[in-house]
Amino acid sequence: MQGQFQPRRRLVIVRLFEGPVLPRPGTRHRTRDETWSRDREGVDEVVVCSSCHNILTSVEERIAINQAHIHTCRNPHGLVFQIGCYARAPGCQSNGIPTAEFSWFPPYRWQVAVCSGCRQHLGWHFTGDGFFYGLITRRIQVCSG
Ligand SMILES: [Zn+2]
């Protein structure tokens, strides 16, 4: 019974070419221009698990879903998560069978994504016409590689 009466919205997925949306703890605020030149100099910035520092993905994998990289989403239990969208996250493992129930990005289905290092729940793996990861911003950190 899920989803039949929902209008199918087309997801807009674009690569982000500009600086980090996420604040980097312990670093000075940088302007977009500074970030841009840093990135172009080839400084590798990686996204790690905040618990075990397992490398999950890279800042270059950030994407915008429906015009935004960051989304604030509420689950059926009333818990609110702020997630950032990434095209790939090789340091995550997906658990469970993909389901469309309560999907925040219909018609995409979701699975729970956990850290392959410490198994902490880091977000969700969305699959449909392609795939992406929504990672909980409070459970990840951006580090210079
Ligand atoms: Zn971890």
pLDDT tens column, 31-74: 444 444 444 445 579 999 999 999 999 999 999 999 999 999 99
Res 129: pLDDT:
87
42: number of CA atoms within 13 Å, CB side?
A: 0
User: Which residue type is seen at 125?
Assistant: H
CA of 145 to the centre of ligand 1 (A): 17
CA–centroid distance, residue 56 to ligand 1 (Å): 9
| Residue matched to tokens 């609110």 | 80
Are 90 and 136 spatial neighbours (Cβ–Cβ below 8 Å)? no
5 in a structural domain: no
- Going from the C-alpha of 126 to that of each of 34, 37, 40, 110, the distances in angstroms are 32, 32, 29, 4
Residue 1 lies in a domain: no
Amino acid identity at 132: F
Query: Count of domains in the chain?
Result: 1
Give domain status of residue 6, yes or no: no
What digits encode the pLDDT tens for the residues 115-144? 999 999 999 999 998 999 999 999 999 988
Residue 46 C-alpha to ligand 1 middle, in angstroms?
14
